[in-house]
Amino acid sequence: MKPSSQDLVQKPVMDLVVPIHGQIEMNRIFFDYLSRNTRNPFRLIVVDNASPDESADFFESRNSQETPVVVLRNPHNQCYPVSINQGVRVGSAPVVGFLNNDILVGPGWDEPLLEAILEQGYPVASPGGLEHFPDRTLEEIFFQRWRYINKRRWSQDPKTNIQEKIHRMYGDFNDIAERIQKKYEGVFYPGIMGHCHLLKRETFEVLGGLDPRIQSADWDLFLTVEKMRGTGAFEKSPIILGESFVHHFIRLTDSHVKRTPPVCNHLPHLKLEEKWKKKEIQDLWPFKDQVPGHKKSLSERVFKKYVRSKTGLFYWRVKAEKII
């Protein structure tokens, strides 16, 4: 008996949850890269928080047997952790992913992350990116390069403006992402990327979901896993893998655009320092230069100023492949 086309469609390995609130042009570009560059079967779960444009309709139009897309429409703009919890709980795949919509995933970005989670037993796995790069010098150069390019408007047309930023940053994004992934193959270190990370569904259940009070959900997730690791609940720390690369726009919305505040029906939001003691953060967070109270050394300040100045004069104009 010949199998039907539905039989040939693999069940999703991942439920990728992405909360959105508008940004239709970015959503189109995000989905294009996600659908082309993801190697394993996935279901995209879009939590639409009262988008003021046609973003929800766009994602619904992309639903197919090959790439199932589920859109949850909320009447109000709700906060990030509540949106993630809502999205995860309508799925059933063994792995869940928390994604921002202002990212571009590199070719095969998902493969090393899934291997780390399903075969090597890491509770959470993230790709490398501008915020945390395997090489700290290149991290600063690329971060400042993007900062310089991203803050400028290259076109009045929103879609063209985004595409031009990507082109000026990378040239051919897929080519540069593959070069970075090859260069840092086998490199990994403790950490988490807030804009993109994967974890087992059972890990999500053990954690009880994200704490709805904490908007800095990536910090809270990492700290919670690390604290539970101390009690034996997890054997390994969350990790960032150099052989997976995802670009994060960091700040996509123009600063002059008024943002719609979230409408929440849970306990009041807390700052991270109101839930976690300062010493806990200092002891558990892997990037010591980010913890509350850290003061940059003179050498750190000089280096940052040097890279920022050289970027404005030189690095933002050079082809990305010459920097790597």
Give the integer Cα–Cα distance in Å for 218 and 84.
Answer: 12
Q: What is the reported pTM?
A: 0.92
Is residue 115 very low, low, confident or very high in pLDDT (cuts 50, 70, 90)?
very high
Q: Who contacts 142 (Cβ-Cβ below 8 Å, separation ≥6)?
A: 130, 133, 323
Rg (alpha carbons) of the chain, rounded to whole number = 20
**In 3-state terms, what secondary structure has residue 164?**
helix
Looking at per-residue pLDDT, the higher value among 293 and 172 belongs to 172
**Domain assignment of residue 21, yes or no:** yes
Alpha helices in the chain (DSSP H): 5-8, 24-37, 55-61, 80-88, 110-118, 136-150, 158-170, 173-183, 201-207, 217-229, 272-275, 278-284, 298-310, 320-323
**pLDDT exceeding 90 applies to what percent of the chain?**
78
User: Which CATH number covers residue 30?
Assistant: 3.90.550.10
In this structure, the number of other CB atoms found within 10 A of the CB of residue 268 comes to 7
Q: How confident is the model at residue 9 (pLDDT cuts 50, 70, 90)?
A: low
Residue 1 lies in a domain: no
The residue range of the domain holding 296 is: 11-323
In a domain, 3, yes or no: no
Q: How confident is the model at residue 189 (pLDDT cuts 50, 70, 90)?
A: very high
Residue 44 lies in a domain: yes
- Stretch 110-122: mean pLDDT, rounded? 98
DSSP state of 313: I
298 in a structural domain: yes
Give Cα separations from 126 to 111, 197, 242, 245, 316 (angstroms). 11, 4, 9, 9, 26
Residue 45 lies inside a defined structural domain of this protein: yes
211-to-246, 264, 283, 288 alpha-carbon distances in Å: 25, 13, 21, 23
Evaluate whether residue 6 is within a structural domain: no
CA atoms within 13 A on the CB side of 140: 13
Q: Is residue 2 included in any domain, yes or no? A: no
Helix then strand count (H, E) for the chain reads 14, 9
Number of compact structural domains in the chain:
1
